[in-house]
Amino acid sequence: MHSMLQSSIEWKPEFDFKVPVDNWMAPQKDTYFFCDLHADAEAFLRSLKLSGLVAETSSLESVKLTANGHNGKVVIGGDCFDKGPSNLALFRLIGALRASGLDLVLLAGNHDIRIYAGLLAMNFMDDVRQCHFFVRMGRKTAKLFAEIFQQYCQGESILEKSDEQIEAELFPTQEWFEHFPEYASGFMTEKKIRKEIKQIRKKRDDFMQACQEYGLSLQQVYLAARKAKSLFVDKQGEFSWFFNELDLMHVSGSYVFSHAGLDDRMACRLVNEGSEALNVEFRQQLSQGRIFQMYYSEFGNVFRTKYRENDWPLTEAGTQCLRDHHLFAIVNGHRSHEAGQQLFVRYGMLNFECDTQLNANCRQKANMPVPGEAVTIFSSDGLVSGLSGDFPAIKRFHPNQLKS
């Protein structure tokens, strides 16, 4: 473990929080939570070393598990895509960990589902609810396409398609703008529909401008997009395992792990149906291409919510349902913090918020030190440790702190 994190402090929520501690359950094995990697392979590798899961001599090309790595569980809490600097290197690193026998759980983030929906949209250009998802991926996807074109498409010949034909396979037509409000009315408010239409007009221009900044023509974007789909979506793709194995949530002990959070309906479904059944239903919706319907349901809320007024609501009724079944804490990313992981109380539930903005591009924009590194460890003895290069000590929490 890095020398700068040898000291520790007691980690407390900002408000008093009391639970029947005797009912609090630790994970059965040490669980290491990483989240919001956003295509930064180097930051993830540094975080793995910080956690003690891989040998200090490990590199992106050769990673070696330690005893902790062989005995522990790793949960990657969503948002592996976008922002850069190294989408493909990150997936190759995760793939190497997966191949090494690491006990690995992959959770869906909003950026991950946005990429999946965008690539899948090429199969659904006649579906008014989904044909705009390619454009909806936005300018951040240009880096992914640039990487794919450089590494897989050099020298590949363009099919005999005009720019107009390519646009018809990637972008919604003018008719989409006219008909989308009718098809989306059962899932989105009028205000959200107006915002979506406005964003799609803007995102198309922003996306193509970003691609041009990476030196990609429309024809090259088309080649890269088709290759990206074959890599990540098609059954035999090099990285198809990622979406095939993606879960919505993970429950261990008294902790519910997800990318963003829960609402009342999902909280009650979780305790009544169990996380495995919900994960199966989630993957079925992905495989069937029912992205739009899922994205705006309680399933989508799990990887999108920021507990805003227009999100699916979490209230004391939902958290009481969880508490009655000995679930006392939600662990998530999605909301970034600049001083390491944070601990909040929300409607009677502890919330471990673990997005420390790891990726180099965002850290540079925020004038944060580069590179980042962080891990949150949920030990089988009940201790929770928050390690981050942005905080000078290990934050340590134990349920016994909550005894009255």
Three state DSSP letters for 331-381: EEEEEECCCCCEEEEECCEEEEEEECCCCHHHHHHCCCCCCCCEEEEECCC
Residue 262 has pLDDT above 60, yes or no: yes
Given a cut of 50, whether residue 3 has pLDDT beyond it is: no
pLDDT tens digit sequence for 317-374:
999 999 999 999 999 999 999 999 999 998 889 999 999 999 999 999 999 988 899 9
pLDDT at res. 74: 98
The pLDDT-based confidence of 79 (bands split at 50, 70, 90) is very high
Q: Are 216 and 99 in contact (CB under 8 A)?
A: no
Average pLDDT (300-308) is: 96
User: pLDDT value at position 155?
Assistant: 78
Residue 377, pLDDT > 80, answer yes
Q: Residue 5's pLDDT band (boundaries 50, 70, 90)?
A: low
Percentage of residues of the chain with pLDDT beyond 90:
85
In which order are the strands placed within the sheet that holds 250-252?
Answer: 250-252, 255-257, 329-336, 349-355, 342-346
- The pLDDT, as a whole number, for residue 2 is 44
User: Is it the case that residue 271 has pLDDT exceeding 60?
Assistant: yes
- pTM reported for the whole predicted model: 0.95
Burial readout 195-221 (b: 16 or more C-beta within 10 A, e: otherwise): eebeebeebbebbbebbeebebebebb
Sign of CA dihedral 158, 208, 137, 366: positive
Binning pLDDT at 50, 70 and 90, where does residue 158 land? low
CA dist list (Å): 187 to 128, 286, 288, 401: 13, 18, 18, 43
As a whole number of angstroms, the longest Cα–Cα distance in the chain is: 73
pLDDT of 16 > 90? The answer is: no
The torsion angles phi and psi of 260, rounded to 5 degrees, stand at -120, -50
Q: What is the pLDDT of residue 348?
A: 86
Taking the C-alpha atoms of residue 368 and residue 7, their distance in angstroms, rounded to an integer, is 22
Predicted confidence at residue 103, as pLDDT, reads: 97
Q: How far apart are CA 177 and CA 134, in angstroms?
A: 15
**Confidence band for 159, pLDDT divided at 50, 70 and 90:** low
How confident is residue 1, by pLDDT bands cut at 50, 70 and 90? Answer: very low
Percent of the chain with pLDDT over 70: 97
Which pLDDT belongs to residue 15? 74
Report the pLDDT averaged over residues 258-275. 97
Half-sphere exposure of 393 (CA within 13 A, CB side): 8
What confidence score (pLDDT) does residue 371 get? 85
